Amino acid sequence: MIPIVSIVGKSDSGKTTLIEKIVPELVQRGYRVATVKHDIHGFEVDKEGKDSWRHRRAGAEAVIISSPEQMALIKTVDRDQTLAELRDRFVDDVDIIISEGFVKDVHPKIEVFRRERHRELLCAADERLVAVVADQRFDISVPCLKLDDGKGVADLIEKNFLQKKEDEGLSLVVNGKPVMLTFFVKNFLMKTIRAMVSTLKGCEDPKTIRISIG
């Protein structure tokens, strides 16, 4: 299951800026990252007069815009979607999801705190708080990092939500030397090998697989 980490905090506390630091750090390390932005005020992406707007005005419940480089889905919903629902319905090919907002959701949170925007931490009593990123120190049981420490936050995310998965499931040894694999590559290989082996007679439900090529 794809792990989710929420970046939370007051408006204008620096959540987006922190995400702009975290994402390239993780991408540079070989991870595939998706982001989800929560907007409690609603938003509009299909502008009046555009074809997608005309489709929606005609009564379409969902409109998909597709091109060779990207696609977008505009869909009518009857309630706010949880992060798990968004992940399970729309995201299936990344190593981690970094969300902005979703302070009431049940996934692990990193709170961004800026003295000029806050009086106190929003999530101090939340057992899902895993770190605070702030311009001051807090006497708190979770790590407290500086606002500009995108690398430190990426290290924390990798250690707690990615590295453990990398250490499990599959290892590659070439000429007697172990080869490091990113979680995405490891997950891809595991799924591919399991799918191929499961088509063989008597191997429909493989629990463990060992391959040796000499």
Average pLDDT over residues 32-57: 78
Give me 122's structure tokens. Answer: 């929003």
* Cα Rg of the chain, angstroms: 21
Q: Are 108 and 114 in contact (CB under 8 A)?
A: no
Tell me what pLDDT residue 76 has. 82
Full set of structural domains in the chain with CATH: 4-40+80-166 (3.40.50.300), 42-78 (no CATH), 170-214 (no CATH)
Put simply, whether the predicted model's pTM sits higher than 0.85 gets the answer no
CB atoms within 10 A of CB 2: 17
CB atoms within 10 A of CB 140: 15
80-128 pLDDT, tens digit each? 889 999 999 888 889 999 999 898 899 999 999 999 888 899 999 899 9
| Distance separating alpha carbons of residues 92 and 105, to the nearest angstrom | 20
Q: What is the largest CA-CA distance in the chain?
A: 65
| Distance separating alpha carbons of residues 112 and 148, to the nearest angstrom | 11
On the CB side of 66, CA atoms within 13 Å amount to 2
What DSSP string describes 59-96?
A: T-SEEEEE-SS-EEEEE--SSPPPHHHHHHHH--S-SE
Q: Are 146 and 14 in contact (CB under 8 A)?
A: no
Strand 172-174 to strand 177-179: parallel, antiparallel, or no bridges (unpaired)?
antiparallel
Tell me what pLDDT residue 163 has. 64
